[in-house]
């Protein structure tokens, strides 16, 4: 049983577009988190923006995107400052500093939601955690033929347009500052001696991650944002040693996860004869996890099996194993 074309274009196409764009943008910037050992920054930021979202919502009184996004951006900046303050002034390790700041901010957001819901406001933590991929609708297209009409494309849902803009911004910034990002990521000391402000790029990366996470969370939820910031770049890191290849590969894997995850969530149960669909954001996260698992197992040089084969080859040719080859 296949859904008809109009239904696909109106319901599934915009959700798929949003998921693909969100995953591509997150995977792109996530590379620098993974390489800078800041993987938990995405986690911290996407939890810490909750009070900002609720605050923006309460101040504006509507579910408009702009005030919520501004609030989220302010909260992300505040979280970054607080984490840095606690880490430096309090001399705590960065993991603990993040843990303190993001849990307290998330808790504040939860309390704000509960208090607001007393006044009959419909906003809950669920939509922040899981997103609302299923509610993104594109009512303009009536069939394949209508896609030729520019007016139909102009009527794309706002979430998709926002995500497209953010993805374009990420691509532009990473392309423009590729050399600087590369040097500051791998050798900040060298970068400083070359006159490249490594500290500035550190904050730049964090800010870009925050902006991407904020744009993406509305459509796909914070859990998927965290998954996409980490899993595709981590998988790509196991498949290649070159930065440019890793970035391209991570974006491709992110898109693959989005397509496979959404397909499995929307059409999988139907194929099995069930009438309901599954949570798409969760399923995309699971798909990215599977991709990472495959990379861990079968990566040609850094995967577990690939390394075992390399060690075996060494043993065959030389009769002994160099000490370095034994270590992972």
Partner 1 sequence: MIDSMFDEALRILTFRSGFNSAVVVAGTAALGLAGGTVGTFLLLRRRALVSDALSHATLPGIAVAFLVGAALGLPERSLPLLLAGAVASGVVGLLTVQALTRFTRLTEDSAIGAVLSVFFGLGVVLLSVIQNLELGGQAGLKTFILGQTAAMAQGEAIAIGLLAAGAALAVALLFKELRVLAFDPGFAAVQGWPVGALDLVLMGLATLVTVIGLQTVGLILVVALLIIPPAAARFWTDRLPALTVAAAVIGALSGWLGATLSALLPKLPAGAVIVLVAGGFFLLSFLFAPARGLVAAALRQGRLRLTFAERRALTDLLDGRPVEGSVALWLRLRGYIRDGALTPAGQTAAQAAARDRRLWERFLADYPALLPAHANWGVDPIDSVLPGDMVRLLEERSAPS
| Residues contributing to the site for partner 1 (CB under 8 A) | 33-34, 37-40, 42-43, 47, 86, 89-93, 95-100, 103-104, 106-108, 110-111, 114-115, 117-118, 125, 129-130, 223-224, 226-227, 229-231, 233-234, 237-238, 265, 269, 274, 276-279, 281-286, 288-289, 292, 296, 302-304, 328
Please state the closest distance from residue 127 (CB atom) to partner 1, in A.
13
Let me know: does 83 contact 141? Beta carbons within 8 Å. Answer: no
Q: Which two tokens stand for residue 308?
A: 């075992």
Phi-psi region of 120 (alpha: psi -120 to 50; beta: other; left: phi over 0): left
Which lies closer to partner 1 via its Cβ, residue 209 or residue 211? 209
Nearer Cβ to partner 1 (140/284): 284
Q: What are phi and psi of 176, to 5 degrees?
A: -65, -45
Q: 234: closest CA among 170, 315, 302, 167?
A: 302
Nearer to partner 1, 319 or 328 (CB): 328
Least distance (Å) between residue 163 CB and partner 1: 19
Q: Please, which residue, 100 or 123, has the CB nearer to partner 1? A: 100
Q: Which is nearer to partner 1, 104 or 207 (CB)?
A: 104
Residue closer to partner 1 (CB basis): 179 or 327: 327
CB of 298 to partner 1, least distance (A): 12
State the Cα–Cα distance between residues 196 and 150, nearest whole angstrom: 44
Q: Are 28 and 174 in contact (CB under 8 A)?
A: yes
Of the two residues 165 and 274, which places its CB atom closer to partner 1 in the complex?
Answer: 274
Supply the minimum distance, in Å, between the C-beta of residue 319 and partner 1.
25
The distance of closest approach from Cβ of residue 100 to partner 1 in the complex, given in angstroms and rounded to an integer, is: 5
Report residue 226: phi and psi, to 5°. -60, -45
Which residue reads 């600087």 in tokens?
180
CB 37, min distance to partner 1, A:
5
Contacts of 168 (CB under 8 A, 6+ apart): none
d(CA 243, CA 241): 7
SS3 195: coil
Answer whether 191's CB lies under 8 Å from 184's CB: yes
What are the residues whose beta carbons fall under 8 Å from the beta carbon of 48, sequence distance 6 or more?
75, 76, 78, 79, 101, 102, 105, 106
Q: Read off the DSSP letter of residue 135.
A: G
The least CB distance from residue 40 to partner 1, in Å, is 5
């Amino acid at each position: 049983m296949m859904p008809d074309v109009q239904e696909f274009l109106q319901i599934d196409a915009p959700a798929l577009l949003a998921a693909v764009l969100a995953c591509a943008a997150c995977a792109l910037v996530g590379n620098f988190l993974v390489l800078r050992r800041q993987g938990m920054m995405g986690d911290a930021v996407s939890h810490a923006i909750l009070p900002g979202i609720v605050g923006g919502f309460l101040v504006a009184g509507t579910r408009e995107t702009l005030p919520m996004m501004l609030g989220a951006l302010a909260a992300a900046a505040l979280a970054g400052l607080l984490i840095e303050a606690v880490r430096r002034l309090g001399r705590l390790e960065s993991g603990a500093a993040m843990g303190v700041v993001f849990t307290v901010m998330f808790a504040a957001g939860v309390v704000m939601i509960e208090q607001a819901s007393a006044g009959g406001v419909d906003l809950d933590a669920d939509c922040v955690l899981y997103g609302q991929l299923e509610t993104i609708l594109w009512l303009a297209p009536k069939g394949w033929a209508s896609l030729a009409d520019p007016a139909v494309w102009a009527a794309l849902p706002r979430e998709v347009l926002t995500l497209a803009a953010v993805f374009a911004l990420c691509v532009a910034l990473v392309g423009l500052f590729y050399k600087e990002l590369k040097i500051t990521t791998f050798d900040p000391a060298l970068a400083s001696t070359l006159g490249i402000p490594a500290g500035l790029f550190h904050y730049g990366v964090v800010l870009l991650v925050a902006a991407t996470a904020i744009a993406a969370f509305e459509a796909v939820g914070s859990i998927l944002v965290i998954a996409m910031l980490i899993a595709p770049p981590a998988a790509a890191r196991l498949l290649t040693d070159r930065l440019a290849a890793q970035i391209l590969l991570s974006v491709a894997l992110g898109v693959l996860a989005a397509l496979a995850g959404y397909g499995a969530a929307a059409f999988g149960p139907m194929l099995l004869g069930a009438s309901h669909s599954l949570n798409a954001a969760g399923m995309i996260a699971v798909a990215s996890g599977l991709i990472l698992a495959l990379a861990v197992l079968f990566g040609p040089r850094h995967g577990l099996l690939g390394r075992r084969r390399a060690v075996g080859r060494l043993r065959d040719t030389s009769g002994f194993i160099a000490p370095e080859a034994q270590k992972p």
